[in-house]
Structure 1
Amino acid sequence: MQTVLYARVSTADQTIAHQRKQAEAAGFRIDAVVADEGVSGVSTVLAERPQGRRLFDMLRAGDVLVVRWVDRLGRNYQDVTETIREFMRRGVIVRTVINAMTFDGATSDPVRMAVRDALIGFMAATAQAQAEATKEAQRAGIDHAKGREDAYLGRKPSYSAGQLADVVAGLDRGDAVAAIAKATGLSRQTVYRVRDNRVEAEAALARWAA
């Protein structure tokens, strides 16, 4: 049996090394790392990514697939739910670093199966909702900047796109502000600002990137 970390890196603010460090800090002993760089989780399903295809070839029953969160597998509800269920059918255990979730096909109890499947669906839906909200905010920010040559950009955000994504994920899970600040390295005030006006936080990043 082996424990494989799958890392997806889509922006310069994310790194494979950081995702591995997070996994090891959570107690995982990683035997191998499989990673896709510069790949969108929205437009490219796992099975169509170069290294994503490799996962389906290398993982066997009893193996453990570790991901930072389900959004590394994808940001499309249908793709993520089908991917996790396919791995479970093959006897692969899927575990997340964030929230320490475990998904496997071991149980045959219908109630536990229903709870497990509902949780998978909720997490997959959250990943897609986050992606859609970020895309809309970025579009609004870019349109605003393009429409005014002297557009005021405002204060440069103190967070990266990767940090913002982690803050949003934590807020959506109901994590405490203090815990999110510690995990992301941001101040509590910054986390509060994102919580109180998420769209503006995402638009600010888009304005400075435009």
Structure 2
Amino acid sequence: MVDFTNTKREGLTLIIGYCRVSTKEQNPERQRLKFLQLGIPERFIFEDKASGKDFERPRYQAMRDMLRKGDLLYLDSLDRLGRDYDGITREWKYITQEVLADIVCLDNQDLFDSRKFRSMGKIGKLLEDHMLSLLAYVADVERNKNLERQREGIAVAQANGVKFGRPAVEIGEAFIRMYDSWKKGEVTATAAYTALGMSRTTFYKKVKKWEEKLQFQ
């Protein structure tokens, strides 16, 4: 792999792709395929499996350090850059206005293509700033709406008797009998939880719960 981060590139510009998924279980292949179809070399596709709440992601930072004037950064969508829209605004301005690279979001190229703003000169920069401010405002309103809907949903569920948090550990008569036999040394723990049809972890959780209860009897 050619490392352009600490070398003079002698006017060479790069086309780069950045993809992100939030967890290790999610697959970024759909995003990667779009970049490969655009002709972006595999070595210039940067991928993070991390939350978008901040920008301290290793591959994002490596991509950010690589960017130079005239480079073109492709994203599948703006939220692949991050979830913090104040941070997105800051990063967008850094890349497009300080580094002087460009950003294109494939899912909405009519709006999120910094090359169009750049071609309009000073009025384009003004429009871009307004677009980013509007984006941050709309995202903040939507975030607050989502939080309010979550609070309302929890309140309704609680009013209908739904309990949140870890479910209570139920202690039945069969467990108590097997617990007594186990404590007397008549059966092993393995035999006890196997006979009860539960896992070792569940068995010991019930043991702990039952012994806590016995202390107050």
TM-score (norm 1): 0.56
For residue 82 of structure 1, what is the amino acid of its counterpart? R
For residues 117-146 of structure 1, the C-alpha deviation after alignment (integer angstroms, 9 at most, x for no partner) is: 212233344444444444544455456556
Map 1:180-195 → 2, pairs under 5 A? none
Shift of 1:29: 2.4
Change in 2 beyond 3 A, CA 1:145/1:15: farther
For residue 21 of structure 1, what is the amino acid of its counterpart? L
Aligned to 1:65: 73
Change in 2 beyond 3 A, CA 1:2/1:128: farther
For residues 181-208 of structure 1, the C-alpha deviation after alignment (integer angstroms, 9 at most, x for no partner) is: xxxxxxxxxxxxxxxxxxxxxxxxxxxx
Map 1:54-203 → 2, pairs under 5 A? 54-88=62-96, 89-100=98-109, 101-104=112-115, 106-107=118-119, 109-138=121-150, 140-141=152-153, 145=157
Change in 2 beyond 3 A, CA 1:15/1:139: farther
Shift of 1:77: 3.0
Cα RMSD of the aligned pairs, angstroms, is 3.0
Shift of 1:95: 0.6
CA radius of gyration, larger in: 2
Shift of 1:65: 1.0
Please, which runs of 5 or more residues in structure 2 have no aligned partner? 1-12, 164-217
Please, which runs of 5 or more residues in structure 1 have no aligned partner? 152-210
Higher relative contact order by CA 8 Å / sep ≥ 6: 1 or 2? 1
Identity score, percent: 26
Change in 2 beyond 3 A, CA 1:133/1:18: farther
3-state SS, counterpart of residue 122 of structure 1: helix
Q: 2:35, 2:45 within 8 Å by CA — same for their partners in 1? A: no
Q: 1:51 aligns with which of 54, 59, 62?
A: 59
Q: Tell me how far apart the structure 1 counterparts of residues 38 and 84 of structure 2 sit (CA, whole Å).
A: 26
